[in-house]
């Protein structure tokens, strides 16, 4: 999608520090990390948020949760102690980039409730 920064990252028009990639998904380091490990996992095909998901997204979202997140967590060394997975959705959810992304955060103790 034109003017979407994460589409541009997925298309390599903007560089990123990728930690995992396949035909459906890219995972890359967040530019402003909020924890020692802070990775964003995106479907390469544009979808704005969880609100827009439908049956056509089952494969990619299942892939993200069943394969990519556990794999990246393990590779980043945060799987044993634990980690947090967040999908900010919409304005009150704190979503600033309107291309669905899953935050993977770890390497420190997390607080609850989040701000
Ligand atoms: P959210 O506020 O949930 O929409 O998260 C957007 C995230 O994208 C923030 O944590 C930003 O730091 C991150 N971000 C924005 N631009 C880039 C970029 N070019 N490369 C990596 N992370 C980015
Ligand atoms: Zn996009």
Closest ligand to Cα 13: 1
Distance 42 CA to ligand 2 centre (A): 9
Q: Report, at the CATH architecture level, how domain 5-106 is classified.
A: 2-Layer Sandwich (3.30)
Ligand 2 centre distance from Cα of residue 10 (Å): 8
39 three-state secondary structure: strand
Q: What is the pLDDT along the chain (115 residues), one digit of tens a residue?
A: 889 999 999 999 999 999 999 999 999 999 999 999 999 999 999 999 999 999 999 999 999 999 999 999 999 999 999 999 999 999 999 999 999 999 999 999 999 999 8
Is 63 known to be catalytic? no
The answer to whether 69 and 100 have CB atoms below 8 angstroms apart is no
Count of alpha carbons within 13 angstroms of residue 52, beta-carbon side:
12
Q: Strands 102-106, 37-43: parallel, antiparallel or unpaired by DSSP?
A: antiparallel
Ligand 1 atom nearest to CA at 97: 4
């Amino acid at each position: 999608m034109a003017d979407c920064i994460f589409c541009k990252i997925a298309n390599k028009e903007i560089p990123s520090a990728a930690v995992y990639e396949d035909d459906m998904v890219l995972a890359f380091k967040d530019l402003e990390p909020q924890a020692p490990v802070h990775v964003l996992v995106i479907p390469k095909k544009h979808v704005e948020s969880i609100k827009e998901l439908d049956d056509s997204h089952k494969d990619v979202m299942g892939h993200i949760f069943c394969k990519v997140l556990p794999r990246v967590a393990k590779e980043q060394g945060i799987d044993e102690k634990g980690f947090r997975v967040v999908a900010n959705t919409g304005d009150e959810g704190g979503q600033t980039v309107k291309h669905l992304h899953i935050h993977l955060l770890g390497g420190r103790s997390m607080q609850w409730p989040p701000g």
